[in-house]
A and B are shown apart, each in its own frame.
Chain A
Amino acid sequence: MGLAGLAAFWWLTRPVTAPPHVAAALAGLDSNPQRGALVFHASGCASCHAAPGATGEARLVLAGGRRFPSPFGSFVAPNISPHPEHGIGSWSLTDLYNALKHGTTPDGTHHYPAFPYTTYQRIRLQDVADLYAFLQTLPPSDAASLPHDLPFPFSFRRGIGLWKRLYLRPGWVVNGSLSHEEARGRYLVEALGHCGECHTPRDSLGGLDTARWLAGAPNPAGKGRIPNITPAVLDWSQADIAYYLETGFTPDYDSAGGEMAEVVENLSHLPKSDLMAIAAYLKRVPPMPDPPGKP
């Protein structure tokens, strides 16, 4: 009985990897590092993986080292530069796909969901291939990745398999008939931009409460709150939202600060049509008023 339970646990928590037909499809794709650069900026890779405090060109050295406090312990972003030993230079395209899509490492263990594969699982194959090509062009860093600082039971990676069964749900959060522009925005937000990872509240197990999608949440870094960006609260025009994402200026010319300043740095690399698409999508998100008594 105990053995059967253990076997069931082992089966339920096994890390998933790409089936052969997907690996074959990936191998057959042409990749383009210029397109990959846009995927990279839209996905905000540098925000976590650049060395802490890096600015400008230095943000393209993905040495890792930034710490992320959470209720479960402290995560440290790893080196994902193309260094063969300390970075991900030895990864295959399928390895990158497995990481983004399934949160699975090349040696078949689970990534912690601090790496937002709950979002990236919706990425298109072509974008994975282009991103892979772009990452190869970046400067390698020989900085060693640091271990996460997590207490038991969160230090036990196999358990993440159960968490994934609960929270790694394919499909879109916002459904219904979307215009071409809104659908592009949905892809940018729900598959790449991972806006929801900060702007959506989490339950006690750290899973996103998609019933309150983008309705604001406490800041895991402890200071202030991440704002509600559903139409119930964010009443800016589409053009104002797009301009904010491009320049960081709010409609009254205050500017983005904190983490969002970095998001704007990433998004300013995207074409304006993409920023308008994100804004169009945000207008289609179900409005969620703030709960009464919010600080």
Chain B
Amino acid sequence: MKHLKRASLAGAALAAGLAAATPALAEGGAHDAAIAARKAHMQLLKWELTTLGAMAKGAIPYDAEKAASAANDLKALAGLDLHNAWPEESDSDMNQNTRALPKIWENMEDFGKKYGALQAATEAMAAAAGKDLDSLKAAMGNVGGACKACHKEYRKPKDG
């Protein structure tokens, strides 16, 4: 009995220690809404790129009006500030549903600069997409470059 009591005390102490050491598990999903919001933002960017990319690849015929419309949406999306969707501790160490590396918050200035590069690339795309197919293709390369620059540095690789 005495033994058992001591063991359970030790267990409780251990559990308390663990809880203190791993706030993510204790707080469970405090940042889920912010993470969902920024993922949705990415989905929308992808959605607009689907039209532009299909034209760049030649999978669908070039249509200046459709291209310009998608590019304007893309620019508007990249123009969103969304700072508040990236709160402290919403990183991949503390949360299972994101691949955003903790290093983002250690390098917030550079992260912001890279987001700025995406804004510039999408502005250039908005100016180019309705012009002709070659302009669209070239602008697409720069948008891709901006996506990669950030994902290279700040996104955790997939598990599969």
Contacts and interface: CB of A to CB of B under 8 A. Distances in A.
Interface string B119-160: 000000000000000000000110011011101100111111
A22 B148 CA distance: 41
B100 to A, nearest CB: 11
A224 to B, nearest CB: 4
Nearest to B99: A257
Contacts of A257: 148, 151-152, 155, 157
Interface residues of A, number: 29
Nearest to B157: A224
A264 B141 CA distance: 11
Interface stretch (A69-77, A132-140, A168-176, A238-246): A238-246
Contacts of A255: 144, 147-148, 151
Contact of B157 (A219, A243, A246, A248): A219
A256 B148 CA distance: 6
Contacts of A118: none
Nearest to A268: B141
Contacts of A265: 145, 148
B3 interface: no
Contacts of A240: 57
A290 B144 CA distance: 29
A21 interface: no
16 contacts: A55-B149, A223-B157, A224-B158, A227-B160, A239-B57, A243-B53, A247-B144, A252-B46, A254-B46, A257-B148, A261-B149, A261-B152, A264-B148, A268-B141, A295-B159, A295-B160
Interface of A: 55, 219, 223-225, 227, 239-240, 243, 246-249, 252-259, 261-262, 264-265, 268, 290, 294-295
Interface of B: 45-47, 49-50, 53, 56-59, 140-141, 144-145, 147-149, 151-152, 155-160
